[in-house]
Amino acid sequence: MSLKAIVKTTREKGFDYMDVEMPKVGPRDVLIKVKAAAICGSDLNFYVWNKAFCEGLVKELPFIPGHECSGEVVEVGSAVTHVKAGDRVSFDSHIPCGYCRQCQIGRPHTCTNMGLFGHNMNGCFAEYTVAKETGVRKIPDALSWEAAALLEPLGVVIRPVLESGVSMSTVCIAGCGPIGQFAISLTSALTASRIFAVDINPQRLALAKEMGATDLIDAREKPNFGDYLINETEDGLDIFIDASGNVHTINEGLRSLRFGGTMYMVGNPKEPLVIENPMRKITLREVTIKGNWGRSMFETWEKAENFLLSGKINLDKIITHRFPMSEYEKAFEIAKSGEGCKILLYPEE
């Protein structure tokens, strides 16, 4: 039996939409009929074949990209007991080994032998996908297929927003793509006193306003927005969450923090991060810089589900486009243009 899938076949721009063989189900595997899948920035890197991102990460071609999805279990391996055919599920794209030091000290989300679903193994841009049982999680009945497909990316910002204690604080979120919009919505639900949103795309800034940002900063008009933030917050921000990966933005963010403020780095800087005047920016002002590698398994998932079920986030605004998988090219060209926000793909019925 064969199935349709979006496949990366060459080390250049583009994908193919083609028939592939039905995947084999190993003893600890779960075969899932995909109901909804979402495009992530990393999928876009695979589409355009951003060499710096792809080489070293992708083990071999061809492979099926996609790692944010929901679906129905159709078959389970002989050793799988916690889910069965008919269950509605989503799953974490991180596949920890369970035995390395990080796994053993209770940090499986930073496993040093991490398998990455849809990155170094086949993913979910297909009619059916095979997930490892350890990552598969049943979803609440009240959660739609679409909402469940967004649990994985939403989970990326849950820890920084909750850990930093945004409530009653001044917060700046830079980079208003899907991850930034999730962060703004969550920060707003937790009643931050001011939420500054930074981007260079007016459409995304307008969406940030709808998600709960109180102040919009167009970084094309105010490239050195640090001064503005310091001014607006008396003596600096409590928290800066970077989802842009832009090194200038991160420097402006560090400059704008109050004494003892915290910078969360969620974005993916593509250039070396040179911190100008680190004595003044970091040491003297006792600033904390924290990295964040996605969800903790599975505490974050529970929180993400609860947040989606609370109705405090309007996903209809965040999901701006929907396409059948056969029209992947349109979907990825829109993703590339930066127009819209989250783009969903559906297998053909």
Residue 116 within binding range of Zn ion, rule CB under 5 A: no
Min separation Cβ 240 and Zn ion, Å = 22
Give the nearest distance from C-beta 153 to Zn ion in angstroms.
Answer: 5
| Residue of the chain from 25, 48, 74, 97 that contacts Zn ion (CB under 5 A) | 97
Near Zn ion by CB under 5 A: residue from 5, 30, 58, 111: 111
> Does the protein bind Zn ion through residue 100 (CB under 5 A)?
yes
Nearest alpha-carbon partner for 66 in 30, 90, 97, 96: 90
> Residue 40 interacts with Zn ion (CB under 5 A)?
yes
Single residue of 65, 71, 96, 180 touching Zn ion by CB under 5 A: 96
The nearest distance, CB 104 to Zn ion, in angstroms, is 8
What is the β-pairing status of strands 88-91 and 68-76? antiparallel
In the chain, count H helices and then E strands.
Answer: 13, 17
Those residues with Cβ within 8 angstroms of residue 103's Cβ, 6 or more apart along the chain or in another chain: 96, 97, 111
Judged by CB under 5 A, the number of residues near Zn ion is 7
Strand runs labelled E in the chain: 2-7, 16-21, 29-38, 68-76, 88-91, 94-95, 115-116, 128-132, 136-138, 170-174, 194-199, 215-218, 237-242, 257-265, 288-291, 319-324, 342-346
Minimum Å gap between C-beta 138 and Zn ion is 21
Residues in the chain: 349
150 touches Zn ion by CB under 5 A: no
Q: Does 44 sit near Zn ion (CB under 5 A)?
A: no
Quick check: 192 binds Zn ion (CB under 5 A)? no
What is the nearest approach in angstroms of Zn ion to the Cβ of residue 92?
11
Look at strands 342-346 and 237-242 and give their pairing.
unpaired
Interface positions with Zn ion (CB under 5 A) = 40, 96-97, 100, 103, 111, 113
